[in-house]
């Protein structure tokens, strides 16, 4: 079984290794390229924890600041693992999406202990700040990176689609799903996807796979990487 991974290269390569260990072949075609942006020095005074909604965010923070003692609240297990690998000592994973991260923070932290710093990209999905401010928290946002969209599918991807040797594509965000769908259609390969399963991290991701007629659109039961991988292993597609 051959799977197409659309995540940024920093996330795609370890995912490919993980899938390879499960017996899957993989193709990498990142829909986004991650680059740091120029930003003023981070002010951590009065900050009780970092909010991390992607592994890209914690990597960008680590490149700018050597503080590894500040607690990290991560949206999911992949971003939590990235934080631990970078040396952060107190990391908690919400194991889900922005809503579950907000619920984790509300349950574990209190507003009077200090502000929260959301390490983010130039485009933000969901309303994490709104959810937490409604619960009385003060949220700052540090924009440390940007994700530049690909303007075409790689030739290798097109070759595999033409040969019918792509069994599934992994889609982790609504933006990536929308972009991949648009690039497939622009390349005139929509018909080739009738033999491909779209494995989606959430229903919001799946909603952006239209108007392509896929072999199947499979949504992970929980919005995290492990749940998505388990679905791939169990469908037999």
99-150 pLDDT per residue, tens: 999 999 999 999 999 999 999 988 777 789 999 999 999 999 999 999 999 9
The CATH number assigned to the domain holding 84 equals 3.40.50.10090
pLDDT exceeds cutoff 70 at 2: yes
pLDDT exceeds cutoff 50 at 77: yes
Q: Are 53 and 85 members of one domain?
A: yes
Q: Are 137 and 45 members of one domain?
A: yes
pLDDT exceeds cutoff 90 at 236: no
Give Cα 47 distance to the centre of its chain: 25
The label of the residue with tokens 């990487």 reads 225
Residue 116 is classified by DSSP as: E
User: Nearest Cα to 227, choosing from 205, 195, 210, 194?
Assistant: 205
Q: Which pLDDT belongs to residue 237?
A: 43
What's the sign of the alpha-carbon dihedral 123, 125, 126, 132?
negative
Last residue within a domain, chosen from 103, 126, 145: 145
What is the number of structural domains in the chain? 2
Give Cα 3 distance to the centre of its chain: 17
| Burial annotation 89-103 (CB, 10 A radius, 16+ → b, else e) | eebbbbbbbbebbbe
Lowest mean pLDDT, pick from 8-17, 124-133, 156-165? 124-133
Which residues contact residue 188 at a Cβ distance below 8 angstroms, ignoring those fewer than 6 apart?
none
pTM: 0.85
Confidence of residue 233 (pLDDT cuts 50, 70, 90): low
Q: Are 14 and 81 members of one domain?
A: no
Q: Which pLDDT belongs to residue 223?
A: 85
Strands (E), 39-179: 47-52, 72-74, 91-93, 115-121, 139-149, 168-171
Cα separation, 107 vs 117, in Å, equals 17
Last residue within a domain, chosen from 145, 162, 193: 145
Full residue range of the structural domain in which residue 210 is found: 2-31+150-235
Q: Which pLDDT belongs to residue 97?
A: 87
117 and 109 Cβ atoms separated by less than 8 Å = no
């Amino acid at each position: 079984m051959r799977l197409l991974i659309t995540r940024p290269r920093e996330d795609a390569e370890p995912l490919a290794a993980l899938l390879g260990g499960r017996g899957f072949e993989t193709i990498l075609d990142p829909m986004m390229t991650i680059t740091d942006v120029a930003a003023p020095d981070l002010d951590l005074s009065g900050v009780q924890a970092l909010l991390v909604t992607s592994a890209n965010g914690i990597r960008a923070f680590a490149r700018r600041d050597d503080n590894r003692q500040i607690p990290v609240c991560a949206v999911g297990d992949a971003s939590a693992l990235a934080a631990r690998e970078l040396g952060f000592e107190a990391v908690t994973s919400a194991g889900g999406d922005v809503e579950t991260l907000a619920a984790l923070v509300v349950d574990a932290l209190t507003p009077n202990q200090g502000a929260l710093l959301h390490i983010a990209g130039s485009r933000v999905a969901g309303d994490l700040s709104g959810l937490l401010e409604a619960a009385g928290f003060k949220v700052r946002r540090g924009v440390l990176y940007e994700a530049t969209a690909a303007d075409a599918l790689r030739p290798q991807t097109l070759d595999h689609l033409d040969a019918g040797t792509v069994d599934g594509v992994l889609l982790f965000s609504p933006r990536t799903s929308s972009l991949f769908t648009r690039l497939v259609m622009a390349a005139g390969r929509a018909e080739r996807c009738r033999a491909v399963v779209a494995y989606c991290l959430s229903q919001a991701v799946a909603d952006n796979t239209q108007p392509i007629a896929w072999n199947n659109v499979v949504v992970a039961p929980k919005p995290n990487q492990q749940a998505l991988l388990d679905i791939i292993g169990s469908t037999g597609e």
